[in-house]
Chain A
């Protein structure tokens, strides 16, 4: 996953549980990487058709579910477009609009056919990148694994994607801060939580500059360009890490109004923290009593 991971847990046999969790996360990483030549996803991308192991298949099915739910704002087939911009290999460039249009035609997840464990990419040169959901899937499934291990308290941090199990060993709630995209400043706020995933997406995490313009890594599947949505970052708080990961990207692409509308209509049990380009902080009502901030914020009600 090209990132760091940290795992804190409390259980009957913590060392053994940590080892199992670590092995599981590394296994997922090997299966799902779009860049590792030996991964299942790399092979599927190369041949257009492949039988997948249960975990890879499950991640892909989740990705397709959120593609449909978000009306395409979350798209797991954007690799040809992000490659044009140079994000996967950090060889950044600004592509021609004709190139972008061509690559965008390949980003059609609705053309993926699944028959049993066999997956067929229905457009020639279509390529999947499950990076927008892989970490959330990994933390969610690791939490489920730890529950089976009778672990009652854990915090998983996969490169800044946070998921917690239970409360802290001393019985208090976990404190998860949300990074302020204006780096030199303090946090946007802190959440007091238990049994929740907290996942943030923002253009500030990865970007490059060319001729005085900034191009960030969250590409709008609608037009193939870095999403200009008026948002600096989106944080999703959910019982489910997969949902939190997929929706943090999707709501960032949607922008403030669509994101709030999506939250109101979906009623699927998540909360959000939106931070806008002009420095406004909006939170959904479900976290009103667990969010603390020195900044002013507006609470959005259903």
Chain B
């Protein structure tokens, strides 16, 4: 390895370090989690904030968990439990047909500020 290679590797390392820093300080995307029942929106939540949402319908309940940028159904009392079995997603949607519930990841923007 001659000196020129050494400099080139150094430059790549520095660039990737800068790239990492840049990435690390980026807000984690603007995606949101939209929960609907019979296509009525129940709520929209940021994908980058961990929380648990309990959805109760006439049909039963679903426990939706947003954690570390993914969404999954932790528990539900539907007969097939396909929604629970689907596991974690970070794009697309989870549908619980018996409860007519949809959990969808949308790229709706996160606001710059919240008035309260």
Contact = CB atoms under 8 A, between A and B. Distances in A.
B113 interface: yes
A131 to B, nearest CB: 16
A179 B44 CA distance: 12
Contact of A294 (B41, B110, B114, B115): B41
B112 A176 contact: yes
B43 A175 contact: no
Contacts of A168: 112
Given A160-B115, A160-B116, A187-B114, A175 B109 contact: yes
Contacts of A162: 113-115
Interface in B13-65: 34, 41-45, 53
A186 B115 contact: no
**Interface residue range, chain A:** 20 to 34
A205 B115 contact: no
Contacts of A186: 41, 43-45
A176 B115 CA distance: 7
Main SS of the interface on chain B? Answer: strand
Most central of A179, A184, A186, A187 by chain B CB within 10 Å? A186
**Interface residue range, chain B:** 10 to 19
B111 interface: yes
A160 B43 CA distance: 21
A63 interface: no
Nearest to A159: B116
Given A186-B45, A294-B44, A155 B113 contact: yes
Most central of B41, B44, B112, B116 by chain A CB within 10 Å? B116
A178 B113 CA distance: 9
B111 A187 contact: yes
Contacts of A8: 112
Nearest to A233: B116
Contacts of B44: 186-187, 294
B55 to A, nearest CB: 11
Contacts of B109: 175, 190
Interface string A94-105: 000000000000
A93 B47 CA distance: 40
Interface string B94-116: 00000000000000011111111
B111 A175 contact: yes
Nearest to A160: B116
A144 to B, nearest CB: 19
A275 to B, nearest CB: 12
A259 interface: no
21 contacts: A155-B112, A157-B113, A160-B115, A162-B115, A168-B112, A174-B112, A175-B110, A176-B111, A176-B113, A176-B115, A177-B113, A178-B115, A178-B116, A179-B115, A184-B43, A184-B53, A186-B43, A202-B116, A235-B115, A294-B34, A295-B41
